[in-house]
């Protein structure tokens, strides 16, 4: 894939030839990577869940709950395989534009992924049963309970009450079913992606004939990954991984440390500065959290820092890059508004709020460090040392220059830039001979796993938000809002509140795709500047990336440091407090966002 995206750039410039096949190849390669790696992550048990309840139960009851979750996942695997098989039959006539490959063939990856999931869960069921804690009778009982629940739902769907709810109050009913189902699975500790998928399935069942539910669900999961923009994700994870493994990003961190060393808890400050520096390179909070956090974490552990706080600082400051340009999120917003807010104006507007978001983390990190009695680094350092650190960081900094310069200069797009970043870091790693062939393989596998977890989650949340739209849930929310007040600031604050709640459950891009079209006309008719509103949306949803249960940046930060999500909640609270103050400032003072673009006459 790296090869293909580099080829796209090279072929465009060196040979002046069209690189159309790469676009289509990459588009489907990403989906295959996401679903296959997602399936593989079930084999090695890497999918994220919220183990609140399981930790509180006795060993035997926990084993029973694990049985239930394995069975639930197994059934999902069966459903997903069936969906893949049905799509294979249905969509053979539909061909892709360039390669003319049948879409059904491409969708057959669902069949493979589903079968892998089924096999993986059969193995874990076997392990649970032979492990001595769960008995075969438990398995039968679990299956019986699930079957009974399903029968009850089936019976309920034939009653008049059900019919009345669906025809007269579909929006509210769907809302209850969707969030109700999701919360139940979440509390039971099922993999979050599976919980999302089932919530979507149940909601879909309210409106769609039984025989159509599985292929529809399967297709929306498949489509959840069908966005060229997501490509930057595995690429920046890979680039970050290469940079950290080969010690390249370490030099960037040294620079950040130089800047942050005078402040108590200097490593945390350096992490924030590093994330902001990285933010000028990528528009992905996930990439930032993995690249910078991946290097800070081992150092922090060695120096005896409080690890949950370290992970929290990393998670909370990683989304800065979504406001500091270049930013995919701002590009998406500009696309949704149909150019009502220009990309370049949004980019200029993003600088100050992005830095504010980082500074909010720095302030709270400083307070937490003082409370824990951490000291600033002792002594100054010589001018020679400063120069040496800068010199050593230069190759890494040059990457920023190459990628940013390349994007701004029009040599390549932001997404192609992610491929270039991989290529550049590969070349550097080869030059320094700091990586063995074995290490390379480990990096690739690790990237696939980390991307697999996230991509599979994105796919399932894509399906859930499709179902939400299909059940008119966003409209219901929009109507409630405008019925509430006509005051500009009140409506903005309400929207912020709604987006904060939405952000708790939903990832940034689906949330933006769904809610921008609802809110945008409302606020612009009240006289809010489109650029200002874009910054508010991205800032608010950035916070959602760090809140459990669905927070992709949080997941990455946790999986990198190995901390539990539940342990991060406490250190995250003060950080959120300061970030919320920043958010309110941005809402009340449009100049914070708009001064810079105005200065440039945008």
For binding to other proteins (CB under 8 A), which residues are involved?
12, 16-20, 23-24, 90-91, 93-98, 100, 103, 208-209, 212, 215-216, 219-220, 223, 226, 228, 331, 334-336, 338-339, 342-344, 407-410, 412-413, 466, 469-470, 472, 474, 513-514, 517
Shortest distance (Å) from residue 382 CB to other proteins: 43
Contacts of 230 (CB under 8 A, 6+ apart): 30, 34, 455, 458
Beta carbons of 242 and 281 less than 8 angstroms apart: no
Measured from the CB atom, is 308 or 406 closer to other proteins? 406
CB of 458 to other proteins, least distance (A): 15
Closest to other proteins by CB, 316 or 403: 403
- Taking the complex as a whole, how short is the minimal distance between the CB of residue 168 and other proteins, in angstroms? 12
Whichever of 222 and 456 has its CB closer to other proteins, that residue is: 222
Asked if residues 565 and 308 have their Cβ atoms less than 8 Å apart, the reply is: no
Please state the closest distance from residue 90 (CB atom) to other proteins, in A. Answer: 7
Torsion sign, CA atoms 125, 127, 129, 131: negative
Residue with smaller CB distance to Na ion, 114 or 551: 551
Report the partner that residue 327 touches, choosing among other proteins, Na ion, none (CB closer than 5 to 8 A by kind): Na ion
We find the least distance from the C-beta atom of residue 219 to other proteins, in angstroms, to be 6
Nearest approach, Cβ of 338 to other proteins (angstroms)? 6
Report the interface residues with Na ion, using CB under 5 A.
279, 283, 321, 324, 327, 503-504, 544, 547, 550-551
Are 102 and 224 in contact, with CB atoms under 8 Å apart? no
Out of Na ion, other proteins, none, what residue 208 binds, judged by CB under 5 to 8 A for its kind, is: other proteins
CB of 216 to other proteins, least distance (A): 5
C-beta of 314: minimal distance to other proteins in Å?
30
Q: Which partner from the list other proteins, Na ion, none does 409 bind, CB cut-off 5 to 8 Å by kind?
A: other proteins
The pair of three-digit structure tokens given for residue 236, joined into one six-digit string: 């920046």
Looking at the Cβ atoms of 279 and 534, the one nearer to Na ion is 279
Tokens 């230069």 label which residue? Answer: 394
- Torsion angles phi and psi, residue 102, rounded to 5: -60, 130
- Are 532 and 349 contacting, i.e. CB atoms less than 8 angstroms apart? yes
User: Judged by CB, which is closer to other proteins: 167, or 436?
Assistant: 167
Whichever of 320 and 586 has its CB closer to Na ion, that residue is: 320
Helix 192-205, helix 170-187: angle, nearest 10: 150
Which partner in other proteins, Na ion, none is near 339 (CB below 5 to 8 A by kind)?
A: other proteins
* Residue 45 binding partner per list other proteins, Na ion, none, with a CB distance cut-off of 5 to 8 Å that depends on partner kind: none
Question: Pick from Na ion, other proteins, none: which does 279 bind, CB < 5 to 8 A by kind?
Answer: Na ion
In this structure, how many other beta carbons lie within 10 angstroms of the beta carbon of residue 392? 17
Q: Smaller CB distance to other proteins: residue 476 or 566?
A: 476
Among Na ion, other proteins, none, what does residue 470 contact (CB within 5–8 Å per kind)?
other proteins
Nearer to other proteins (CB atom), residue 189 or residue 530: 530
200 versus 321: smaller Cβ distance to Na ion: 321
Q: Is 112 exposed, middle or buried (CB count within 10 Å of its CB: 0-12, 13-18, 19+)? A: middle
**Residue 443 binds which entry of other proteins, Na ion, none, with Cβ cut-offs from 5 to 8 Å by kind?**
none
Q: What is the distance between the alpha carbons of residues 330 and 336, in angstroms, rounded to a whole number? A: 10
**DSSP states of 475-495:** HHHHHHHHHH---HHHHHHHH
Enter the DSSP assignment of 95. B
Query: What residue has token string 């053979």?
Result: 92
Nearest to 467 by CA among 524, 505, 410, 417: 505
| Distance, C-alpha 71 to centroid of its chain | 27
| Closest separation in Å from C-beta 36 to other proteins | 21
Q: Which of 468, 563, 555, 550 is nearest to 194 (CA)?
A: 550
- 3-class state of residue 413 by DSSP: coil
Closest contact distance (angstroms) between CB of 354 and Na ion is 7
Q: Report in angstroms how near the CB of residue 414 gets to other proteins at its nearest.
A: 9
Q: CB of residue 327 vs other proteins: minimum separation in angstroms?
A: 12
What phi, psi does 293 have (nearest 5°)?
Answer: -60, -35
SS (H, E, C) 305-372: CCHHHHHHHHHHHHHHHHCCCCCHHHHHHHHHCCCCCCHHHHHHHHHHHHHHHHHHHHHHHHHHHHHC
Residue 405's binding partner among other proteins, Na ion, none (Cβ under 5 to 8 angstroms by kind) is none
d(CA 512, CA 15): 38
If the CB atoms of residues 330 and 429 are measured against other proteins, the closer one turns out to be 330
For Na ion, the closer of residues 39 and 283 by Cβ is: 283
Can you tell me the distance from the alpha carbon of 474 to that of 469, in angstroms, rounded to the nearest whole number? 6
Q: How far is the CB of 50 from other proteins (least distance, A)?
A: 29
Taking the complex as a whole, the smallest distance from the CB of residue 529 to other proteins amounts, in Å, to: 17
Written as six digits, the tokens of 307 are 């690890």
Which entry of Na ion, other proteins, none binds 384, CB below 5 to 8 A by partner kind?
none
**Nearest-10 crossing angle of helices 328-336, 414-432:** 170
Q: Residue 530 touches which of Na ion, other proteins, none (CB < 5 to 8 A by kind)? A: none
Q: The dihedral of CA 194, 196, 198, 201: what is its sign? A: negative
As given in the structure block, the two tokens for residue 562 are 């190995």
Identify which of residues 263 and 331 has a Cβ nearer to other proteins in the complex.
331
513, 468 Cβ separation under 8 angstroms: no
Judged by CB, which is closer to Na ion: 77, or 544?
544
Task: Look at residue 547 and give the partner it binds from Na ion, other proteins, none, a contact being a CB closer than 5 to 8 Å depending on partner kind.
Answer: Na ion
Contacted entry of other proteins, Na ion, none for residue 93, CB cut-off 5 to 8 Å set by kind: other proteins
CB of 294 closer than 8 Å to CB of 331 = no
Report the distance separating Cα 23 and Cα 3, nearest Å. 12
């Amino acid at each position: 894939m790296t090869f293909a995206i580099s080829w796209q750039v090279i072929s465009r410039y060196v040979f002046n030839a069209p690189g159309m096949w790469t676009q289509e190849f990459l588009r489907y390669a990403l989906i295959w990577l996401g679903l296959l790696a997602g399936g593989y992550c079930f084999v090695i048990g890497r999918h994220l869940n919220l183990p609140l309840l399981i930790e509180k139960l006795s060993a035997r009851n926990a084993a029973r709950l694990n049985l239930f979750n394995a069975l639930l996942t197994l059934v999902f695997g069966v459903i997903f395989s069936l969906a893949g098989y049905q799509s294979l039959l249905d969509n053979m006539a539909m061909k892709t534009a360039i390669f003319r490959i049948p879409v059904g063939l491409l969708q057959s990856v669902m069949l493979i992924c589903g079968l892998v999931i089924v096999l993986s869960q059969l193995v874990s069921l076997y392990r649970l049963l032979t492990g001595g804690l769960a008995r075969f009778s438990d398995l039968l009982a679990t299956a019986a309970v699930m079957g009974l629940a399903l029968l009850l739902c089936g019976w309920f769907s034939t009653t008049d009450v059900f019919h009345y709810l669906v025809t007269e109050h579909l929006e509210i009913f769907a809302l209850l079913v969707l969030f109700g189902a999701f919360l139940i699975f979440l509390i039971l500790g099922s993999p979050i992606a599976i919980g999302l998928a089932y919530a979507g399935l149940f909601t879909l069942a309210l409106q769609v004939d039984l025989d159509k539910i599985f292929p529809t669900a399967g297709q929306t999961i498949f489509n959840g990954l069908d966005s060229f923009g997501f490509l930057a994700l595995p690429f920046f994870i890979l680039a970050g991984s290469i940079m950290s493994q080969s010690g390249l990003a370490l030099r960037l961190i040294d620079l950040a440390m130089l800047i942050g060393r005078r402040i108590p808890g200097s490593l945390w400050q350096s992490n924030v500065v590093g994330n902001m520096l990285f933010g000028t390179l990528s528009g992905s909070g996930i990439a930032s959290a993995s690249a910078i956090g991946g290097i800070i974490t081992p150092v922090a552990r060695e120096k005896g820092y409080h690890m949950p706080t370290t992970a929290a600082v990393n998670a909370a400051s990683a989304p800065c890059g979504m406001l500091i340009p270049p930013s995919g999120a701002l590009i998406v917003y500009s696309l949704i508004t149909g150019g009502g807010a220009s990309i370049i104006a949004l980019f200029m507007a993003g600088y100050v709020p992005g830095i504010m978001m980082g500074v909010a983390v720095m302030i709270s990190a400083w307070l937490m460090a003082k409370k824990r009695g951490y000291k600033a680094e002792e002594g100054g350092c010589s001018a020679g040392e400063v120069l040496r650190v800068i010199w050593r960081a230069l190759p890494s900094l040059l990457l920023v220059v190459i990628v940013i310069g390349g994007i701004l200069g029009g040599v390549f797009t932001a997404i192609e830039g992610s491929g270039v970043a991989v290529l550049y870091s590969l070349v550097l790693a080869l030059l320094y001979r700091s990586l063995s062939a074995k290490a390379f393989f480990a990096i690739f596998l690790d990237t696939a796993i980390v991307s697999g977890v996230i991509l599979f989650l994105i796919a399932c949340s894509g399906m859930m938000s499709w179902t939400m739209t299909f059940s008119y849930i966003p409209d219901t929310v929009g109507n409630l809002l405008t019925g509430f007040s006509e005051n500009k600031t009140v409506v903005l604050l309400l929207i912020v509140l709604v987006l904060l709640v939405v952000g708790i459950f939903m990832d940034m891009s689906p949330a933006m795709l769904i809610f921008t079209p609802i809110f945008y006309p409302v606020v612009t008719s009240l006289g809010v500047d489109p650029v200002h509103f874009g910054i508010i949306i991205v800032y608010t949803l950035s916070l959602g990336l760090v809140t459990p249960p669905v927070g992709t940046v949080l997941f990455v930060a946790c999986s990198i440091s190995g901390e539990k999500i539940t342990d991060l909640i406490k250190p995250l609270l003060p950080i959120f407090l300061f970030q919320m103050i920043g958010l309110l400032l941005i809402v009340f003072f449009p100049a914070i966002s708009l001064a810079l673009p105005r200065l440039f006459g945008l």
